[in-house]
Amino acid sequence: MEFQDKVALITGGARGIGRAIAENLARKSAHIVLMDISESVHDTARELEAFGVKTLGITGSVTEETDVKRLFREIESVFGKLDICINNAGININNLTMKTSLKDFQQVLNVNLNGTFLVSRAAMLMMLKKRYGRIINISSIVGIRGNAGQAGYSSAKAGIIGLTKTMAVEVAKKNITVNTVAPGYIATEMTDALDTEVKARYKKYIPMQEFGTLDDVAESVAFLASDKAKYITGQTLVVDGGLLLI
Ligand code: NDP
């Protein structure tokens, strides 16, 4: 019942890490708003009702100001407030920098970074009215250390860390915290599809020798969203099994 009466928005929440974050918060009694570009967001929202909480699924893109405005109008009319905002929607287009088109570079920045900005801006305005809020932005360890073939993605994920720190300072006095979670390799449908030999090679580089689980990310997010983390703001919580240490 940790999040009873709290309302949480998760972008990109139809599947993957976003869905796991939403499910974990719903299990802990938060009402859930999911926004996703995929129509399947409605099915996911319905499935989460099984936790006995109210849910709302909204189709739209975090990159479109009109979609974000519509999202917050809906949140206002259904719940009248927003306590927790998780900016999770993200895409990646892999290519070496030399071969990356400006269009692809900008698209990756647009979803990951501009989307986080647009949704956070609207969330902060709503949170200010109640003088309470938790914003958690999903970055990646590649935003800290870079990664070959991920120019746009690593730039966007590094940008999220800078944006987080700036927003954190701006709203610190208003009882709103803003933090980043930076996952390493997490076991998802994408990693499941890799063949065993490739998986073993990746795992060898991780000090804990395992991929992280969806729960590892979801519980880190839940901690930062909770009142246990009320004095933590502007920080990056790295969830990577020690990968950044080597
Ligand atoms: P998925 O691709 O599985 O899920 C992302 C969700 O976001 C999808 O439902 C996708 O819709 C949706 N989405 C895409 N673009 C938009 C948009 N413009 N507006 C709203 N929703 C959108 O990703 P993961 O679960 O793997 O990753 C989630 C987050 O975690 C991302 O920010 C990612 O960068 C980050 N991350 C992931 C890691 C991993 O190992 N998986 C490691 C480190 C960070 P659709 O299905 O239609 O594309």
pLDDT in tens, 93-112: 999 999 999 999 999 999 99
Q: Tell me what pLDDT residue 189 has.
A: 84
Q: Where are the domains of the chain?
A: 7-186+213-245
- CA-closest candidate to residue 180, choices 120, 238, 230, 222: 238
What pLDDT does 124 receive? 98
Ligand 1 atom closest to 41 (CA): 9
How many angstroms separate the alpha carbon of residue 12 from the centre of ligand 1? Answer: 6
Look at residue 193 in the predicted model and tell me its pLDDT: 82
What is the pLDDT averaged over residues 41-58? 98
Please state, in angstroms and rounded to a whole number, the distance separating the CA atoms of residues 220 and 138.
11
Give me the residues paired with residue 31 across strands: 7
pLDDT at position 194 is 83
CATH architecture of 7-186+213-245: 3-Layer(aba) Sandwich (3.40)
Whole-model pTM above 0.95?
A: yes
Residue whose Cα lies nearest atom 32 of ligand 1: it is 90
Report the distance separating Cα 89 and Cα 103, nearest Å. Answer: 19
Main-chain dihedrals φ then ψ at residue 176, nearest 5 degrees: -120, 125
What's the whole-number mean pLDDT along residues 173-202? Answer: 93
Q: What does the alpha-carbon distance between residue 245 and residue 57 come to, in Å, rounded to a whole number?
A: 39
Pocket test for ligand 1, best of 10, 17, 87, 238 (most atoms within 8 A of CB): 17
Relative to the CA of 212, which ligand 1 atom is closest? 40
CA–centroid distance, 196 to ligand 1, in Å, is: 23
State the virtual CA torsion across 233, 152, 66, 57 in degrees, nearest 10.
Answer: -70
Indicate if the pLDDT at residue 64 is higher than 80.
Answer: yes
Known catalytic residue: 153? yes
φ, ψ at 20 (rounded to 5°): -65, -40
pLDDT attached to residue 191: 82
Please, which pLDDT band fits residue 63 given cuts at 50, 70 and 90? Answer: very high
Specify whether the CB–CB gap between 136 and 180 falls below 8 A: yes
